[in-house]
Amino acid sequence: MGKGLGALIPERGGAEAEGKRAPALCGIEEIQPNPLQPRKTFPDEQLQELADSIKEKGILQPLMVRRRGDKFELIAGERRWRAAQRAGMREVPVLVKEVSDSEMLELSLIENIQREDLNPIEEAEAYKRLMEEFDLTQEEVSRKIGKDRTTIANTIRLLKLPPEVKQSLSEGKISMGHARAFLGLDGADRQRALLRRLLLGGLSVRQIENIIKRLRAGSPSSPRKGNPDWSPLVEDLQRVLGTRVKIVGRRKRGKIEIEYYSAEELDRLVEMLKR
């Protein structure tokens, strides 16, 4: 992650391989957006601020593109490209690279993560897309992105939330802490009801966690009065296994449910349990 995008892109040939190739100017209309771009939202206010900066100082970092017929396709720098259009620029500095679709998606994701440009749902969808389209495991994604595998798994789990909760997270109306807490509550209807309560009351993550504990204590599958409180043990198991865990039953008899979200994750959990 600390090497920057240039070190992650395969170079072809001579001076370019040595990082000596200078940026070229390219007509802004010759550039097409990246169809694999993991970022879906470009807030208008932020674009305008960048456009104002470009008008005053120009584009300080070249856009990264690849050839696509007689056009160019963005690899990295779509926000700068959009802002340059808004600033009325006719040409922009570019570096032309040769990359595959897989490398292009990886680089787009890495650039956005390095710049912290993705919201949590966009990041989760990008991880899932890397795994599904390019047949990568969570461990391989972890190595490419430079993040812990558990972080990758927990981020992907956010995609299980109802659309309303995911939208609120994408728009910054709720935090990652809130969203993770919601995963501990069964049922999309209950999650949506709790979201409405959160948005109306401005509740903290700790308050939401306490509400969820009370809701779970009152559910049929939760321990009844007089039975053990499994919450501390559940939290320990979830931290160790990196996935959601549920304990149902009494001290002498019951079951432990461990969730998984891919064949690769199942294999990982089985190996952990064997050890």
Q: Tens of pLDDT along 30-50?
A: 998 887 676 767 777 888 888
Return the pLDDT at 238.
80
Domain presence at residue 106:
yes
Average pLDDT over residues 232-248: 80
Domain presence at residue 35:
yes
Domain presence at residue 197:
no
Parent domain of 245: 227-275
Name the average pLDDT for the chain: 80
| Tally of structural domains, the chain | 2
pLDDT at 192 over 70: yes
Write down the catalytic residue from 11, 18, 73, 78: 78
171 is an active site residue: no
Domain presence at residue 222:
no
Q: What is the pTM of this model?
A: 0.60
Domain boundary among 85, 102, 118: 118
Q: What is the 3-state secondary structure (H, E, C) of the chain?
A: CCCCHHHHCCCCCHHHHCCCCCCEEEEHHHEECCCCCCCCCCCHHHHHHHHHHHHHHCCCCCEEEEEECCEEEEEECHHHHHHHHHCCCCEEEEEECCCCHHHHHHHHHHHHHHCCCCCHHHHHHHHHHHHHHHCCCHHHHHHHHCCCHHHHHHHHHHHHCCHHHHHHHHCCCCCHHHHHHHCCCCCHHHHHHHHHHHHHHCCCHHHHHHHHHHHHHCCCCCCCCCCCCCHHHHHHHHHHHCCCEEEEECCCCEEEEECCCCHHHHHHHHHHHHC
pLDDT at 216 over 80: no
Domain presence at residue 179:
no
Return the pLDDT at 178.
93
